[in-house]
Structure 1
Amino acid sequence: MTTVAIIPARGGSKQVPRKNLRRVGGVPLVARAVQAAAAAGGIDLVVVSTDDDEIAEVARAAGATIVRRPAELSGDTASSESAILHALDELGRSGVDVEVVAFLQATSPFIPSDALADAVALVRAGAADSVFSAHETYGFLWRRARDGQAAAINHDADHRPRRQDREPHYLETGAFYVFTAAGFRRSGHRFFGRVAIAEVPEWSAIEIDDEQQLAIARALAALHQPRHPIPARAVVTDFDGVHTDDTALIDADGRERVRVSREDGMGVSLLRRAGVPMLILSTEVNPVVRARADKLRVPVLHGIEDKEQALRGWAAENGLDLADIAYLGNDVNDLPAMRIVGWPVAVADAHPRVIAAARVVLTRSGGDGAVRELVERVLPG
């Protein structure tokens, strides 16, 4: 039974421009959806339906097959159903006979792959015709009547039972829907036949429709990201705010002293012994940067204004792919370098824009073991 995940992702968006390419946890939303689908058992093919060249490139790099959507199905009034039907037709013309569809929305950045896999299994086993993601809620819902008065919806306003005495309801999250292709074609919509619920955690239910929700999602990503190993082949770090706590002591002669972590020193030693290339890349020209790099026996480029170009040059000289580099930063001058590497990483107390751009946010702050934490993720075990 062929199961295909279809992710509609058009280029236009009014509330959040280029929304499907905006990053949460350092990863574009469309790529997060592709990764969630690929990690779910039972899905044979992941397809992104788009009218946009950049979205297509990002989705393809994440592992998706691209279906190019025509302009008449890409406007503000185009429905997700029309994009799914078009994708099914295109796949059929290429010889893919789809029996089960998993429809994912890229605007939901926290799609639980395990719940998606369970939903796919239900439909594939014939236990349900349509399954949708939802979270349990005991909330009292109200509506505003035409006269401006409030009216209770799912409860009696004059009877307020305790939570444990109430029946839960389920709030649709919009993250994913799984259904048979044949039933979808017959009905023209995603709910038909025997409809079941795939329960997901409430924290994962956020949908991004405006900039505030995007900011909330980025904060949630830092809290809920899994502590998976980081498969980087090289490590590059900033200095101030990464190896230090971003403060300096200045004596009467103008000489600076900084506070560093011995933990970080041991981490760098472990990285060096493992043969993993490392570089300190700093805009500072203070001798303390060179002194610390010499102590760690790590090459340093300091007094660098254009970190992106310096990093590109160092990677080329050492035969390294930028996708294989982890860059650890803390402030906005690190953003250009973070954007070009495969593993942009932020210390725990980094600037909010750096945290937003990071694929991984560490639990340790600069000068307090952050470098050691990164090393341990690069060298698991």
Structure 2
Amino acid sequence: MRPGSLNADTVAYIPARLGSERVPKKNLRHLGGRPLVTHVAETALQSSGLDRVYLNTESSEIAAAAAPTGIDVYMRDRRLAAAHVSTDEILYDFARATPCEVIVVINPTAPFLTVTTIDRVVTMSKDSSPEATVFTTTRLHKHLVVGGEPVNFSAAGRSPRTQDLKPFDYINFIIFTIYREKVLTQYEQRGFCLYVPPLVFVPMSGLECHDIDEEDDFLVAEAMLRRS
């Protein structure tokens, strides 16, 4: 299904391609007895901040696996499923076909994401400066080294306690929001859109930050589900 003329204020999509370099068919891999992609799909569909939610995929197999959730499907061109394709390209393709004000992208590999966080990020998008792109982040209280050099501690002094270190945030890509018009304008003028200012960052913490990228991440997620 393609959105066509359907109009809504805030539209989300969950990007899910069949190919996965580190974990084969990751989005179809079962977690807690059901495909990984269905966890986030069911959560997103419960959000009061989203007017419409799509699964954005090139794979009929993934679409079929997510069908029991009732999610709408945006079938993208197979060329957009290649490993080298950028998020900017996928955003632009979706934005061209989907009338809306704000696009919300939700990572299917974060199965512990909550409705509360989705709604909080959407609210932040609407409350921020016009045209702001909002990213979720994870905070690190660690001794950081970049290029072999200390970042937030000194090699010339005593080792600081972890809690005394300057924290650093990294973009976790679990959720981000971007204005559709910004995608269209910036991509057509510059060939990219994702990191064009203004940018706003929303911190996340705890279990919700668990993102499945490697085989071991699945094992950790399964253990978390058993404990809960």
TM normalised by structure 1 equals 0.52
SS in 1 for 2:146: strand
Number of the residue aligned with 2:151: 153
The separation in 1 between residues aligned to 2:164 and 2:215, in whole angstroms, is 38
SS in 1 for 2:68: helix
Number of the residue aligned with 2:180: 181
SS in 2 for 1:179: strand
The CA deviation at 1:177 is 0.7
- Provide Cα deviations, 1:165-191, integer angstroms capped at 9, x if missing partner: 443222322211112122233343323
Segments of 4+ moved more than 3 angstroms: 159-167
The separation in 1 between residues aligned to 2:56 and 2:18, in whole angstroms, is 10
Number of the residue aligned with 1:233: none
The CA deviation at 1:127 is 4.1
The separation in 2 between residues aligned to 1:25 and 1:127, in whole angstroms, is 40
The separation in 2 between residues aligned to 1:50 and 1:81, in whole angstroms, is 15
Number of the residue aligned with 2:3: none
Q: What amino acid sits opposite 2:13 in the alignment? A: I
The separation in 1 between residues aligned to 2:115 and 2:129, in whole angstroms, is 19
Pick the aligned partner of 1:125 from 120, 123, 127: 127
Q: Would you say 1:172 and 2:176 are equivalent positions?
A: no
Shift of the 85–60 alpha-carbon distance from structure 1 to 2, 3 Å rule, reads farther
Percentage identity across aligned positions? 25
Number of the residue aligned with 2:189: none
Number of the residue aligned with 1:103: 105
SS in 2 for 1:203: helix
- Provide Cα deviations, 1:226-284, integer angstroms capped at 9, x if missing partner: xxxxxxxxxxxxxxxxxxxxxxxxxxxxxxxxxxxxxxxxxxxxxxxxxxxxxxxxxxx
Shift of the 185–158 alpha-carbon distance from structure 1 to 2, 3 Å rule, reads farther
The separation in 1 between residues aligned to 2:45 and 2:194, in whole angstroms, is 21
Number of the residue aligned with 1:142: 145
Pick the aligned partner of 1:9 from 13, 16, 31: 16
Q: Report if aligned partners of 1:115, 1:199 keep a CA contact under 8 Å in 2.
A: no
Q: What amino acid sits opposite 1:67 in the alignment? A: Y
Shift of the 58–8 alpha-carbon distance from structure 1 to 2, 3 Å rule, reads same
Q: Report if aligned partners of 1:8, 1:84 keep a CA contact under 8 Å in 2.
A: no
The CA deviation at 1:153 is 2.3
Q: Would you say 1:86 and 2:86 are equivalent positions?
A: no
Shift of the 47–114 alpha-carbon distance from structure 1 to 2, 3 Å rule, reads same
Number of the residue aligned with 1:114: 116
The separation in 1 between residues aligned to 2:57 and 2:104, in whole angstroms, is 16
Q: Report if aligned partners of 1:130, 1:193 keep a CA contact under 8 Å in 2.
A: yes
SS in 2 for 1:178: strand
Q: What amino acid sits opposite 1:171 in the alignment? A: Y
RMSD of aligned residue pairs (Cα, Å): 2.1
TM normalised by structure 2 equals 0.84
The separation in 2 between residues aligned to 1:36 and 1:81, in whole angstroms, is 25
Shift of the 133–222 alpha-carbon distance from structure 1 to 2, 3 Å rule, reads farther
- Provide Cα deviations, 1:148-174, integer angstroms capped at 9, x if missing partner: xx3112332334333454432223222
Q: Report if aligned partners of 1:173, 1:206 keep a CA contact under 8 Å in 2.
A: no
Q: Which ranges of structure 1 fall in alignment gaps of 5 or more residues?
A: 92-96, 145-149, 225-381
Number of the residue aligned with 1:20: 27
